[in-house]
Structure 1
């Protein structure tokens, strides 16, 4: 599977741009703030129906313009897929495959998988548990439609349960029987999602450990641990046991929406004790494991987006990544870099087929290769 062409209109800082791509490697080169990352984000949009960086769709419309359009042509086996995303200010976005509208955006997720490695990935280490839950969910959802459906159903009932608890507090009347009905709905959903997350991580963690070991030459011991309240029992039993606690808090204190991933190095929190280099290796290992795991499940390589990471990596990690590209393990790859010479010279030396575009003010200034 690969992206053959991309068209962007009024997307972020890009007025209009069209690209024809190599099935191997494509580079967007130029100074910071010129629009390189926005091109990668357009590709991400066509894969996952949303921006990697900004989940409020209307904020991706170019300033003072009334709409945006992102359109791409993908080759998948013998099929050519034309994917269209458009949005007018103040309206919902439209998503189409071969000119036919999707009724549910969830139906598109997983068709054209993509993995992004970006400086923003530090949020996985530095931010709260919600970011890490989304990381798990985004991987599983690319190959398991039922997981996405169950997760969406859980979140809907959770929202209703929290609204009910808040309503009880406002009215000063606690109706336990109403919570019991809701707990019977949310309990099996939470148990199912928890089991699926655990099954996924049982398979994923060894893949992650292998990549981290390769990146660090086996110098450090790291761990990735799934933390969940549901290891103590079924969700329904937890909700019953904590009903008075929920009543006092006015929200649901137990459930899969509290799950987390714990990152450690030498049995200490990576956030506090990991060096910058160790944290980079950890994040790259997470993303390469995501790519490899998704490739195994889907039967083809996801598109890989490498956003401005080469000037932040040492030569050992750069050589490791480019070695995987040369061996064909990573499939179609898109790279951004501030130097117009560094990455192209390395790719030429390694005899890797590539296209290169110099980007300035949201437009192609030169096609360098």
Structure 2
């Protein structure tokens, strides 16, 4: 699978642009703020129905315009697929595949799998557990539509249960029957999500370790662990035990919405003891493992988007990374960098041809 063409209209800092891509490596070069990352985000939109950087769709519309439109022509096993996304101010987002509108955006997720590596990914290491759960959910959702449905159902039940707990605290009226209904819904979806996350981590870990060892030449020992309350106790028991605490705190304190990933280096927390270079290598290995997992599950190669990844990596690691992603295991790649000569030097040294697009203030040549 690969993206042949991309068209943008009133998207972020682009009034209009049309690009035709190489099946292998495509590079966007230009100054900071020129709009390189916005091109990657447009591709992300077409694959996953949303921006990688900003959850508010209306903020993607170019200043002064009333709408934005994106269109991509994908080659999927020799068949052309036209994906279009449009949004008018104060209206619902439209998403179409071959001119037919989706009733549910969730049905599009995973059709055109994609992995994005960005400086923003450091939030997976330094921010709270929600970022790490989002990473797991993003990977599994692209390979399993049922997982996404269970996740939506779980979050809906969780919200309803929390609203009820607040109501009980405000009114003093306890409704055990309604609480029991929400508990049953949480348990049904939560157990399925936990099983899928556990199975995913079992497959994912060896792949992650392989990529990290390759990138760093086994110079550092890192560890990645899945943490969940359900590893030790049944969900039903957890909810019973925390019932009183939940009523006091007015929120649900047990469940898979508390799951986390623990990252460590030489037995110490990566967040505190990993250097910027080590953290970046860890994140790249995490994303390359995501790529390998998606490829294995889908049976074809996802798109790989690398945003400004040369910063904070030494030349040795950059060369190893580019060598790895330019081999047959990887498909179409999109890269952004401020320095054209650096990109040309790297790819010349590993004998890989690239297509370069120069970006300047929302125009591409």
Q: TM-score range by the shorter chain?
A: over 0.9
Offset at 1:213? 1.1
Offset at 1:152? 0.8
**CA-atom RMSD in angstroms:** 1.1
Offset at 1:98? 0.2
Aligned counterparts of 1:102 and 1:353: Cα–Cα separation in 2: 37
Aligned counterparts of 1:123 and 1:47: Cα–Cα separation in 2: 22
| Corresponding residue for residue 51 of structure 1 | 51
Which range moves more in the overlay, 267-276 or 313-322? 313-322
Aligned counterparts of 1:118 and 1:200: Cα–Cα separation in 2: 23
Contact preservation (8 Å) 2:276, 2:312 = no
| Corresponding residue for residue 352 of structure 2 | 352
Contact preservation (8 Å) 1:208, 1:289 = yes
CA shift digits 1:136-195 (9 cap, x unpaired): 000001111111111111111111111111111121212222211211121121011011
Aligned counterparts of 1:221 and 1:342: Cα–Cα separation in 2: 30
TM-score (norm 2): 0.98
> 1:119-158 alignment to 2 at 5 Å?
119-158=119-158
Contact preservation (8 Å) 2:319, 2:346 = no
CA shift digits 1:88-131 (9 cap, x unpaired): 01111100000000000000000001101111110000111101
Offset at 1:302? 0.7
Contact preservation (8 Å) 1:263, 1:270 = yes
| Corresponding residue for residue 108 of structure 1 | 108
| Corresponding residue for residue 65 of structure 1 | 65
| Corresponding residue for residue 77 of structure 2 | 77
Aligned counterparts of 2:350 and 2:265: Cα–Cα separation in 1: 34
Residue 211, structure 1, aligned to residue 189, structure 2 = no
> 1:223-238 alignment to 2 at 5 Å?
223-238=223-238
Residue 277, structure 1, aligned to residue 277, structure 2 = yes
| Corresponding residue for residue 292 of structure 2 | 292
Which range moves more in the overlay, 57-66 or 344-353? 344-353
| Corresponding residue for residue 180 of structure 2 | 180
| Corresponding residue for residue 4 of structure 2 | 4
| Corresponding residue for residue 247 of structure 1 | 247
Could you say what secondary structure the match of 1:210 adopts?
A: helix
Could you say what secondary structure the match of 1:312 adopts?
A: coil
Contact preservation (8 Å) 1:22, 1:353 = no
Moved runs in structure 1, 4+ residues, more than 4 A? none
Offset at 1:49? 0.4
Contact preservation (8 Å) 1:114, 1:302 = yes
Could you say what secondary structure the match of 2:340 adopts?
A: coil
Aligned counterparts of 1:82 and 1:252: Cα–Cα separation in 2: 43
| Corresponding residue for residue 304 of structure 1 | 304
Contact preservation (8 Å) 2:47, 2:111 = yes
Aligned counterparts of 2:197 and 2:216: Cα–Cα separation in 1: 27
Contact preservation (8 Å) 1:41, 1:52 = yes
- Mind listing any 5+ residue stretches in structure 1 that lack a counterpart? none
Offset at 1:212? 1.0
TM-score (norm 1): 0.97
CA shift digits 1:250-299 (9 cap, x unpaired): 11111111110000111110001111121111111101111111111111
Could you say what secondary structure the match of 1:341 adopts?
A: helix
Offset at 1:349? 4.0
Contact preservation (8 Å) 2:222, 2:263 = yes
Offset at 1:235? 1.5
Aligned residues: 365
Aligned counterparts of 2:350 and 2:222: Cα–Cα separation in 1: 32
CA shift digits 1:300-320 (9 cap, x unpaired): 111000101123321111111
CA shift digits 1:18-45 (9 cap, x unpaired): 1000000111110000000000000000
Aligned counterparts of 2:243 and 2:350: Cα–Cα separation in 1: 62
Contact preservation (8 Å) 1:9, 1:17 = yes
Residue 263, structure 1, aligned to residue 275, structure 2 = no
> 1:37-48 alignment to 2 at 5 Å?
37-48=37-48
Offset at 1:328? 2.3
CA shift digits 1:295-348 (9 cap, x unpaired): 111111110001011233211111112212332222100010101222123323
| Corresponding residue for residue 36 of structure 2 | 36
CA shift digits 1:208-261 (9 cap, x unpaired): 111111111112211111111111222122111111111001111111111100
